[in-house]
Chains A and B, each alone.
Chain A
Amino acid sequence: MKKNDADMLAAILQASNRYAMRPALVLDDRTYTYQELFGLAGSISETLRNLKEDIIGITAENSMETYASILAVLFSGKTYVMLHPDYPAERNCRIAGQSGIGLLLYSGENGDILPADISARRVSLSSYCPASYSGIVVPDVDPDVPAYIIFTSGSTGEPKGVPISRKNLDAFYRAYSALGWELDENDRMLQMFELTFDVSVVSFLYPLTLGACVYAVPQKGMKYLNVLDIMERHRLTFAAVAPSVLRLSRPYFGEICFPDLRYLIVTAEATDVNLLNEFRPCIPNAKVINLYGPTEATIYCTSYVIPAEGTKHHNGMAAIGKPFQGMDYMIVSPLGKQLPAGETGELWISGPQLMSGYWCAPEKTAECFVTDSSGRLYYRTGDLCLADSDGDIIYCGRKDTQVKIQGFRIELSEIEYHVKAFYGHTCNALVLPIYTHDGNCELHLVIEKDAEDTENLERYMQSHLPSYMLPRRIHFIHCFPQNNSNKTDRNQLLKYITQ
């Protein structure tokens, strides 16, 4: 294998030289060439290399400087940690403290994102003058050094740091490239994700390995409108989106069309097959692929091409398909026994994309890793899945969305499925378990819709679901809140309905 086939940064560097005058990044309708982007990145990288700090904080802004900083840290052989200006100061503080950020790169006004008692050096990029483009030299870096640390929310409120090493990133890059994309330097590719969420890493870096152009979506304002607008105006050929984008743009399906789009990736949460089918006429020439993976296994680790007809699904949620090349999985019972095809259990995954453990948190690492009898290390995803006879993995929901009521094991997605079916799949529905003081579990149904009479719905549910599965209360909310990863924010919803 040639070096570039295995090394993501080398491929990016090669493309940046070969396509120097071509557009690399479009931001707020301003185009930056490879030469401009890598000129700045190279110059920041040189500065970083001469400093002793190894963990570099970057403020997540919709600016060329932010994107150049990411490249700069990678090329300098150091580790980046994104801090978000919209996060509560307390969360940024914890992240900075936990990861040991020694230096903060920022542009704009965000130098004060960390309070003064965090002793990191602050470097503003707003007035930074890039040196003339003399080419970037990538130092030999220990492949175990993290490329980035992403913080995910821990159930205890303390964010967990997921360090992804250069080895992980390259394993991901090899497997992702092997999916057989027909993409090249002429492609126009979407980056809609917050930089604190790992799908942004592939949305930004992969196009740069091809010499293609990245179209970054402003995070402020009407984001889903911005996504559609950019996809249409710039005739994008590749877009990875969260299903929420489809849900929110549903009122406009009749007026939008993206004939140039060749790939639509749906990711970040379960994809509603019916919603996708309604969207299909808008993307007549696109192949639709569901990509799944926990941050701990480097962005994505399974893929499923969603066919126009006969999609494999569970309660309307599209299958997640087969593991990436080099990755392996098992479906496991609550007692830790491997289950045969057709049986639902927790998905455990294994392979070179797995992080080596949470950042400075050995007890949390021990909780999520298991070694099987042959010594192979598995990560417990917390996702309930089953494998069908073709070896395709079907996603069945989060482990914590399975509840027990009166001794019955209930999958909340089954209730949601029937509710959505009642409305002809025109709106989203979520069932939230609420535990009362005496430890009982009550099901609350939340429907994304204007309030209306529920008599017919209740009758429909009674005729399709056993009585122990019937929700105790029904709430309507016009629009579900989302978290920073564009997933429906269950905690916010819970607050809303219990307040």
Chain B
Amino acid sequence: METTELLEILNGIFRKVLKRDNIALTEDTTAHDVDGWDSLTNMVLISEIENKFGVRFTFREIVKLKNVGDLCHAIMNKTK
């Protein structure tokens, strides 16, 4: 899967969970850049992403994610 394709899917998940239509993620986007992306909604986002891609993240893996780019790489590695 290409990163752009992945970002589109992630946009959909983020828009749905955070109830905002104007979210446009890039690889550099961090939680600071997105209104409503916090400790609590992150749990929901992760579980939506896990369901969507049929993957599971460990606590260590989630801690290491610093931006959306890291998230994309992690998903790509798991779905290879």
Interface, chain A (partner B; CB < 8 A) = 220-226, 228-229, 248-249, 251-252, 255-256, 478-482
Contacts and interface: CB of A to CB of B under 8 A. Distances in A.
B41 A479 contact: yes
A225 B40 contact: no
B58 A229 contact: no
Interface string B38-54: 11111110010000000
A233 to B, nearest CB: 9
Contact of B43 (A226, A228, A229, A479): A479
Given A228-B63, A479-B41, 17 more contacts: A220-B32, A221-B31, A221-B32, A221-B38, A221-B39, A222-B63, A223-B38, A225-B42, A225-B62, A225-B63, A229-B63, A249-B59, A252-B58, A255-B59, A478-B44, A479-B44, A480-B40
A482 B40 contact: yes
Contact of A256 (B31, B41, B59): B59
23 contacts: A220-B32, A221-B32, A221-B38, A222-B39, A223-B38, A224-B39, A225-B39, A225-B42, A225-B59, A225-B62, A226-B63, A228-B59, A248-B40, A248-B43, A251-B47, A251-B59, A252-B58, A255-B59, A256-B59, A479-B41, A479-B43, A480-B40, A482-B40
Given A225-B39, A482-B40, A255 B31 contact: no
Contacts of A221: 31-32, 38-39
Contacts of B62: 222, 225
Contacts of B31: 220-222
Nearest to A480: B40
A109 to B, nearest CB: 14
Interface in B10-44: 31-32, 38-44
Contacts of B47: 251, 478
A223 B31 CA distance: 12
B60 interface: yes
Contact of B39 (A223, A229, A255, A256): A223
A282 to B, nearest CB: 11
B33 to A, nearest CB: 12
Q: Which of A226, A248, A478 has the most CB of B within 10 A?
A: A478
Given A220-B32, A225-B39, A225-B63, A255 B44 contact: no
A222 B42 contact: yes
Contacts of B43: 248, 251, 478-479
Contacts of B32: 220-221
Contacts of B58: 252, 255
| Max chain B Cβ within 10 angstroms of own Cβ: one of A229, A249, A480 | A229
B60 A255 contact: yes
A436 to B, nearest CB: 27
A481 B62 CA distance: 21
A104 to B, nearest CB: 24
A368 to B, nearest CB: 32
B59 A481 contact: no
A267 B44 CA distance: 25
Contacts of B60: 255
B77 to A, nearest CB: 18
A480 B38 CA distance: 12
B62 to A, nearest CB: 6
Given A220-B32, A221-B31, A222-B31, A479 B40 contact: yes
A249 B28 CA distance: 26
A220 B59 CA distance: 18
Nearest to B30: A221
B78 to A, nearest CB: 16
B19 to A, nearest CB: 11
A480 B63 CA distance: 21
The 9 closest A-B pairs by CB, nearest first: A252-B59, A223-B39, A478-B44, A479-B40, A229-B63, A222-B39, A222-B42, A479-B43, A225-B63
B63 A481 contact: no
Nearest to A253: B59
B40 A481 contact: yes
Contacts of A248: 39-40, 43
A222 B42 CA distance: 7
Contacts of B59: 225, 228, 249, 251-252, 255-256
- Residue of B42, B43, B58, B62 contacting most chain A CB atoms (<10 Å): B43
Contacts of A252: 58-59
A226 B62 CA distance: 10
B51 to A, nearest CB: 9
A224 B42 CA distance: 10
Task: Determine which residue in A222, A226, A249, A251 has the highest number of CB atoms from chain B within 10 A of its CB, and name it.
Answer: A222
Nearest to B32: A220
B44 to A, nearest CB: 4
A236 to B, nearest CB: 15
B15 to A, nearest CB: 15
B48 to A, nearest CB: 9
A478 B42 CA distance: 11
